[in-house]
Structure formats: C-alpha cells, structure tokens
Structure 1
Amino acid sequence: MGPGLRTGLPGGLRTGLRWKLSAAIALVGALVAIALSLVVHNAARVSMLDNARDLADERIQIAQRDLADVQIAEHTFDLSNRANFANVKIDDPHLPDELRAKVEAGRRATYVADPPGGSPDIWAAVPIADGHVLSLHTGLTERSTDILNDLDQALVIGSIAVVLGGSALGVLIGGQLSGRLRKAAAAANRVAKGEPDVRVREAIGGVVRDETDDLARAVDAMADALQQRLEAERRVTADIAHELRTPVTGLLTAAELLPPGRPTELVLDRAKAMRTLVEDVLEVARLDGASERAELQDIMLGEFVARRVAAKDPGIAVHVVHESEVTTDPRRLERVLFNLLANAARHGRPPVEVIVEGRVIRVRDHGPGFPEDLLAEGPSRFRTGSQDRAGHGHGLGLTIAAGQARVLGARLTFRNVRPPGAPARIPAEGAVAVLWLPEHAPTNTGSHPMLPLSGDQ
C-alpha cells in the first residue's frame, strides 16, 4: 500500500479542493476540446470532399464535351494520351453500383467511396450514346490531405493546451478557495479553543466576496451566540455561588457554637464541605471568565515543588531529575499541584510520586487510572476522577487545575500507565498527570517579565 493511501477512515481518501477543481476543469476542457476537434475535423473533411466532388463533376462534363472529338470505333474506346481524359474511362468495371444505377437512369452524378482506414475515392459519371457510361475516378489531392493532417495536428495541440490551461486555472482558483477555507478552519479552531476575540471573517481576508464569506459570518455569529450563552451561564453560576457564600458562612459559624458531640461533628463536616464547594464554584466561574492574570516570579521549580509537597504530605516522594528556573505564578502553580495530589489521593492508590524534570511536573499514582471519557475530552466539572463514581468529591479539582494551567500558559495532560504494547482492555497500572510549563512566561498577564537572552538559563 502506498504512503498516500489511508484506510479505515469514514471519508476514504482525502483530496485537496484545488486538485478536485483542477481535475473537474481539466475534464470539462478535455471533453469540450475533443468535441470541438471532432466537429472541426469533420466539417473540414466534408468541405474538402464536397470540393473534390465538384471538381470531379466539372472534369466529367469537360470530358463529355470533348468526347465528340475522339475517334471511337464500334464498341472500342481509346482515350489514352488525351489531356482531358486522365483517369476517365468508359464502362469502368469498378464503377460503384449505386453510381451506376443513377447513371443508367439518365442522370449525371458523383459518388464518394470512403473505405474504413483508407483514403476516400471520388467518382463522377455521366451517360453517353448507346447506353455507355463515361466515368472519372480520383481521390483527394496531396495538398488537401496535407491540409487535413496539419489541421488535425493543430487541433491536438490546441486540445492539450486547453487541458493544461484549464488545469492551471483550476489549481489557481482552487488554491485561493482552499486557502480561504483553511484560514477559516484555523480561525474556527482558535475560537473552539477559547479565543473569543478571533473573527473568522477577518481571518480569511480577501477583496472578492463569495460563499466563503457567508460561511465565515455564520460561524462568527454562532461563536458570538455561544459566547453570550456561556457568559450568561457563568454569571448565573457565579451569582448563585456568591449568594450562597454568606449563608454558608453563617451556617458554619452557627455549627461551631453547637455543643460538642457526634451530631455537631457531622454538621461541621458538611458545612465545611459546602463552603469548599462554593469556593471552588466561584473559582471555576472566575477562570471561565478569562479575566484571571498571573503574578509572575522567578523560582527554582524542583526546590519549590519539593518544599510545597513536603509541607502538604511528607509521605509523598518527590524526585528532581533536572532542576530548572522558571517564571510563573507560585500561588497558581501550588493550586494546580495540590489539586493533582488530592485527585491522586482520592481516586488512586499509593504510592503517589512527583517527578520534576526541567519544566515538566509529573504526578503519578498506582490506582485504576483515569476514566476513558476524561482522557478523551479532558476534565469536566462535576465529573469525578473515579471510574465508578464511588469516590468523594465533585469533579472540580481537575477542572480548576486545568483552568489555572491555562492562566499560567502551561499544558496539562492526562494518561494511564500500561505495560508496553498492552491493548486498551488491559487494566491500567496507574494514572499520570503531566504539567508542561512554558519556556517563556505568559505575555497576556498583568506583568511584563524580562525574557532571558539566548543561551541564558
């Protein structure tokens, strides 16, 4: 199988729009060129045959008039050495039957015999005295044949030029249209990734207006409508969480005033859980609003992670493979790290390990792994990291971690650990969350970090 073939895809082979358009124009051009060539060739050939028949008819009439001056013995005709009687015979045995029938009816006539693959034969005949037939047998002249061959050659060259020109035109037009569509797709992907200021219509540019502009305007309108709806949902969520903040705080304060005992502990535990949920929902709403900005500092990543993890849980091992200095927001980085550790502790199994290598932080546990829908779609609010949803939590931890990573300009990925070459049905041996910090600090923050010169570390 060639490298250009791809199997197992619903759409089959994928071909660029420019090549499809070029092939269509080339095919139409080839069909038109062939049709016109056949029409022109046949018209020229018919015209030449008509001229040859007219010439043969004139010559047979001249021969008929000059026959009176020829010495004709009884039933014996000698027309040799006569200039006006070249190719003229009387009672030619090769005379076509169709022409003979017309002449025997007393008519002067011409006839063209066109054998397959051969040169056409031009016949002209006229009745003479005593029931004899005077006939002329010729063919197309060499000049006519040369003219017809030159015409065929010109038609072939013209047809090839039309096909090549149509293909080039198709590539040009298709390339422009394909380029506009690719720009539109790239802009739509940026909108899908959460860049609200991108406009597809502005991205495709161009002076000429076509259906691509209509598509771009429709995508922009759809993106605006979705953005408005998401913003409205975010505001509602934030407003509800904000309104719940005060009564939950009052509930927690009142619970702390209850007399000691098991019921008081249960009330306090649920009140604290509700306060944590409200705070997490507010944080998710702020992250969804894309208004958060990082406060950048220069830190040694390995030392920072080891110190924070030791303060959080001394039992978690931290391995610094390669130390690196990064410019990031320590508070948000700590939030991401703690949420990943909490998710590993809640849904995985010990031991939990943290590995720092350059700008990459890996958090691994030895549990059943992440759910397949999380691996395919990423974190989603109120969807926990447990396969059977038996664990505690509301599914906001990884959502907050992913949102804080976006603010840092980092990339957060998730995967399960399986033996090398093992199929997907084999149970995972653990889950790994990987945080990739950027080489340079994010530039859309409130601060403006000084980037290191080339070669500096």
Structure 2
Amino acid sequence: MLIPVRLRTKLSLAIAAVVAVTGTTLGFAVHEVTLHNRLDQTRSEVDARLTVAARSYLDTGTPTVDSALDDPAVPAPLDAAARAGQRATFLDMSTSTVWAATSVGGRTLSVHDSLAATFAAVDGLDRTLLVAGVGAVAGSSVLGVVVANGLSRRLRRTADIARAVAAGDLDARVGDPAAHRWRGGRGDGSTERDRGRIFRRRDEAAELAGALDGMAAALQDRLEAERRVAADVAHELRTPVAGLVTAAELLPDERAVELVRDRVSLLRGLVEDLLEVSRLDAAAETAELDVIDVGELARHCLRGVADVTVHGSPEDAVAVLTDPRRVERIVSNLVANSRIHGHPPIELHIQGRSLIVRDHGPGYPEFLLSEGPRRFRTGDPERGHGHGLGLTIASGQAAVLGADLTFANAADGGAQATLTLPPAEF
C-alpha cells in the first residue's frame, strides 16, 4: 500500500538530508585536514628534538635525556633508513608513537613521542563537529518544517480556490499577500521600488496564486459579458415576439396558420427561458418560502398532467420548507425533458423530502452526469432535440431554493432526477 507523502514532508526531509550530507562531508574533510596537520606538526617537533639531540651527542658524546642510542624499540624501517645515512621520521600507528632517527658515529640516535595528545585533540574536534552537525540538522529540520508548512498552506489554498472556481464559485480568490504586494507596482522591475518588491515578494507560489486569481477574474468578466449579451438579446426579442404572438392570434384558422402559431409559441418560450436563465445567473431570484406537505406539493405540480404516474403513499410524505411555484417549475421542466428525450411511462416518486422524476428512455448522457446541465447542449441525437435550457433552469431554481437536484441513470434503464427539498425546520 502506497502512503502519499505531502509536499511539506518532502521539503523538510530534503532540507534535513542536504544539511546532514553537507555536514558529514564537511566534518570528514575537517577531521582529515586537522589530523594530518597535527601529525605533521608532531613529526616536525620530534625532528627538531632529534636535531638538538644529535648536536648535543656530537659535542658531549652523551645522548640527551629524551634520546637514545640503538634503541631496540625503533621500528625496523626507520632503523634501516638511519643506518643507511638517512634522517627520517616514522609514525607507528599501532603504538600511537612518532619516531625520528639519524645515524651518528655509525650508531642510530632516535627520539620518540606519543600521539595520544594529538588523537585526543582530534577526538575532541570530532565530538564538537558531531554536536554542531546534529544541531544544524535539527535547526534546519525545524526551519524546513516552517518554510514547507507556509508553502504547503499557500499551495493548498490555491488548490482549494481552483476547485471552487471549477465548481462555479467565480468570486473565489486566493488573495495571497505575496501575490498582490508585487502586483501593486508596474511589476516589470523598471524602478528600484519594483525591483525590490519583486526580489522580496515574488516567488513561484505567489505567481501561481496571482495567475489563478487573474484567470478567475477574467473568466468571471467573460461569463458576465456573455450573460449580459444573452439577457439583452432576450429582452430585445421579448417585445417583437410578443407582437408576433398577437399577430398570429389574429390570423384565420388554417393549417399553415397553426404551424406559424406553434413556431411563434416556441420562440416565445425560448425567449422567456433565456430571460429566466439570465436572472438566475445574476442571482436576482429570491424564493418565497412556505411550509407545505410533499404529497400536496406533488399534486400541485402535476395539475392537469395526465401522462405522469405518481408513486408514493401520502402518509410517507413529510413537510418541507420551499417555494411551491419554483418546485412546480423544476418538476415541469424535468417532466418536459422526459417527454422530449425519454420514453414513457414517466413516473414521479415521493420518498420523504425527495421528488424523483424518471422515464424509461436512453438515460442522461455521460457529460451531464459528470458535468451537470449545460445550456444549448442536449446530448446524443437519440435523445431528441431541444435547446438545453430546461435542466439548466431546473438546477438554477433548485439552487435558489437551497434544494439538492441530482441526475442519474436508473439501474433498469432510463433517466432519473432527484429533487431533495429542505426540511420544514430548516
């Protein structure tokens, strides 16, 4: 099983690992350099003592206190080098001793010293480096957690706002202070002030937040412009269409006239639907809430409708807080969609606070189930024709009511829309 690792954890571990590797490498280098320097210094000191001892022996014929002639403890390689006329030093790591020897009068004069003090000093340095390294790793880990938490928090907020915008909340903004401080100037680094602001504040997370806010603002402006165009067009069409309806009613009763009246009626309905969609998009609709029984509400919605079968016992119905006129609009649109795109029988099921409208046709298209209703998009050709505003209006009216409208395909076939209304104590 794979366990996801958050970005802040990765950053914290990466910073700690980099500091640990760097500290280890630096500590090893310092250890080696210090050890070699101390060993070289000790060898130089022993060699200097050998020089003094050799001069004293040549002057007095007697070795000094810290020197010896033909010492059997002299390492064999050093003794051989001295007898060959060489002056040399030797590190005996097995006994932690440094030797220096030379030949005087055919005999080997030697001086030696312990390396214990040198090794003790290097060990002390190693302990200091270890403590400093552990402290550096701990401090960098804390710093990494602080930095990573801040970055992760900003990125999570940006992701949340992106999801909110994708869900339709175009007013959502990241509002990252770092993103807006540097955006306050010209932002091109043309002035000292701008260059300082960019250097201090502009990072990748701020750029991402600023880009997302800019995208949301541009999308909101574009959609608002489209909504205004649709509303203006529908409003301008309303008067001439009303005139067409009136003129069509004055025509004599003939077959061709009936076709004209039918087309004019459809055009009028389309204009009214466009105006309603525009009002819903502009959040200009308010519900007139009232407490009503779901069973009575269902009967109210189906007045004069003969091709819809109602299922549900009246005693199972509950009281809800809603606007009956808007519920009727929603149910009528769902039923009309089933008539156009589905197959009979069309059924209305009452289940608690829910009204379920279903048919036995090909069902809703996949895009509608995953993305929701889209205006002027009706799906596959086998689902019939239409302008795609009915379900859009139904979803908008449900949002005004605070109700939940979901779309699904029934297991045994057919489209199924479920409208769940708020309870009476809402």
TM > 0.5 fold call? yes
**Structure 1 residue 126 corresponds to structure 2 residue 126:** no
- 1:296-311 residue pairs with structure 2 within 5 A? 296-309=289-302, 311=304
**Structure 1 residue 64 corresponds to structure 2 residue 43:** no
- The alpha-carbon deviation at position 281 of structure 1 amounts to 1.3
Q: Secondary structure at the match of 2:132?
A: helix
Match of 1:226 in 2: 219
CA contact (8 A) 2:308 2:348 kept: no
- The alpha-carbon deviation at position 372 of structure 1 amounts to 0.9
- The alpha-carbon deviation at position 433 of structure 1 amounts to 1.2
- The alpha-carbon deviation at position 88 of structure 1 amounts to 6.3
CA contact (8 A) 1:21 1:174 kept: yes
- The alpha-carbon deviation at position 370 of structure 1 amounts to 0.8
**Structure 1 residue 34 corresponds to structure 2 residue 24:** yes
Structure 1 gaps, min length 5: 5-13, 72-78, 419-427, 441-450, 453-457
Between Structure 1 and Structure 2, how many residues are aligned? 405
- The alpha-carbon deviation at position 400 of structure 1 amounts to 0.8
Output the amino acid matched with 2:371: E
Q: Which of 321, 338, 344 is the aligned partner of 1:350?
A: 344
Identity percentage over the alignment? Answer: 45
Change (3 A) 1:90 1:390: closer
Change (3 A) 1:44 1:91: closer
More displaced stretch, 309-318 vs 177-186: 309-318
Which structure is higher in helix share? 2
Change (3 A) 1:105 1:371: same
Match of 1:9 in 2: none
Question: How far apart, in 1, do the equivalents of 2:95 and 2:292 lie?
Answer: 95
Output the amino acid matched with 1:152: D
**Structure 1 residue 279 corresponds to structure 2 residue 260:** no
Q: Secondary structure at the match of 2:381?
A: coil
Q: Which of 407, 413, 420 is the aligned partner of 1:429?
A: 413
Q: Which of 40, 60, 85 is the aligned partner of 1:50?
A: 40
Question: How far apart, in 2, do the equivalents of 1:197 and 1:368 lie?
Answer: 37
Q: Which of 412, 416, 420 is the aligned partner of 2:405?
A: 412
Match of 1:425 in 2: none
Output the amino acid matched with 2:389: L
CA contact (8 A) 1:355 1:362 kept: yes
Match of 2:76 in 1: 94
Change (3 A) 1:313 1:258: same
Structure 2 gaps, min length 5: 182-199
- 1:44-443 residue pairs with structure 2 within 5 A? 44-65=34-55, 67=57, 83-85=65-67, 89=71, 94-96=76-78, 100=81, 104=84, 108-112=87-91, 122-130=98-106, 132-136=107-111, 138-141=113-116, 143-201=117-175, 209-211=201-203, 212-309=205-302, 311-313=304-306, 315-320=308-313, 322-384=316-378, 387-389=380-382, 391-418=384-411, 429-438=413-422
Output the amino acid matched with 2:115: L
Question: How far apart, in 2, do the equivalents of 1:34 and 1:362 lie?
Answer: 69
Q: Secondary structure at the match of 1:327?
A: strand
Q: Secondary structure at the match of 1:393?
A: coil
Change (3 A) 1:334 1:416: same
CA contact (8 A) 2:103 2:109 kept: yes
Match of 2:184 in 1: none
Question: How far apart, in 1, do the equivalents of 2:316 and 2:52 lie?
Answer: 111
Change (3 A) 1:334 1:247: same
